[in-house]
Amino acid sequence: MRALLRPRTRKTVLVIHVVASVALLGEVWGLVLLNTAATLTNDPGLAHAAYRLMPVMVFGGGIPFSLIALTTGVVLGLVSQWGLFRYYWTAAKLVLLVAVICAGMFLFDPEGMAAATESASGVPVPASDARQWGQVAVLGTQVAMLMTATVLSIFKPRAKLFDGGPRRGVQGAGGAGEEPGPAVGRARIAPWQRSSAEDVRSTTPSGG
């Protein structure tokens, strides 16, 4: 599949991946600040308004950016020498991004918090502190996972998750655990060429 993407196309996909990943991190950090403000404020109306605003950020930024980052990351893994599961850092990045998406889907609940801060008559009411701080913790964990993925992308640890080892039938260059290969620059001579060369040497007069 690597041959299907030209270098310019690969760079374009890489730019889209980086932009989407950075935008996703910024969107989640914005949600952390908004949730923290809603938790610390003594104004139930302000907290309710903050929770009502969060779904707009999620559906307008978080979901599109996370899907774009995931899709472009998979494409880059398939068309590059790193692979998706060949190295620990590429596999870890994929797992972290999927974990961020799952945390947002199953643990983050701004609609529920908006409903919890509104009474039956429509008047804003305080929500449970434990539930509010729980939402902050979910978003903080997402930020930590996204920052870890960013660090892995920059440093790219060389440890391999799957190492196929040397290919069979290919001689090594004399490294540890490998059969010593032929000397560099020495041409291989077929048996029929070897016999012809020996005949030529035997008929060639030696210098006295």
Please state the length of the chain: 208
* Listed residue (99, 82, 102) closest to 148, CA to CA: 99
Residue 137 belongs to a domain: yes
Residue 35 belongs to a domain: yes
**CA 98 to chain centroid:** 9
The pLDDT value recorded for residue 199 is: 54
- How many Cβ atoms sit within 10 Å of the Cβ of residue 172? 12
| Mean of all residue pLDDT scores within the chain | 83
The pLDDT value recorded for residue 110 is: 94
**3-class SS letters over 76-138:** HHHHCCCCCCCEHHHHHHHHHHHHHHHHHHHCCCHHHHHHHCECCCCCECCCCHHHHHHHHHH
Answer for the pair 136, 31: CB distance below 8 angstroms, yes or no: no
Q: 10: which residues sit within 8 A by CB, 6+ positions away?
A: 76, 79, 80
- Written as six digits, the tokens of 12 are 């374009």
* Listed residue (79, 82, 94) closest to 162, CA to CA: 82
pLDDT in tens, 36-58: 999 999 999 999 999 999 999 99
Give the angle subtended at the CA of 117 by the CAs of 128 and 62, to the nearest 5°: 95
Residue 194 belongs to a domain: no
Residue 166 belongs to a domain: no
Work out the percent of the chain whose per-residue pLDDT is above 90. Answer: 63
The pLDDT value recorded for residue 32 is: 98
Report the predicted TM-score, pTM, of the whole model to 2 decimal places.
0.75
pLDDT of 190 > 90? The answer is no
pLDDT in tens, 132-170: 999 999 999 999 999 999 999 999 998 998 775 544 444
pLDDT in tens, 89-109: 999 999 999 999 999 999 999
Compute the distance between CA of residue 43 and CA of residue 184 in angstroms, rounded to an integer: 78
> Is 99 exposed, middle or buried (CB count within 10 Å of its CB: 0-12, 13-18, 19+)?
middle
Residue 202 belongs to a domain: no
In terms of residue numbers, what domain contains 138?
2-155
Residue 142 belongs to a domain: yes
pLDDT of 125 > 70? The answer is yes
Residue 51 belongs to a domain: yes
Residue 95 belongs to a domain: yes
- Min mean pLDDT across 28-37, 64-73, 110-119, 169-178 is at 169-178
Our count of domains for the chain comes to 1
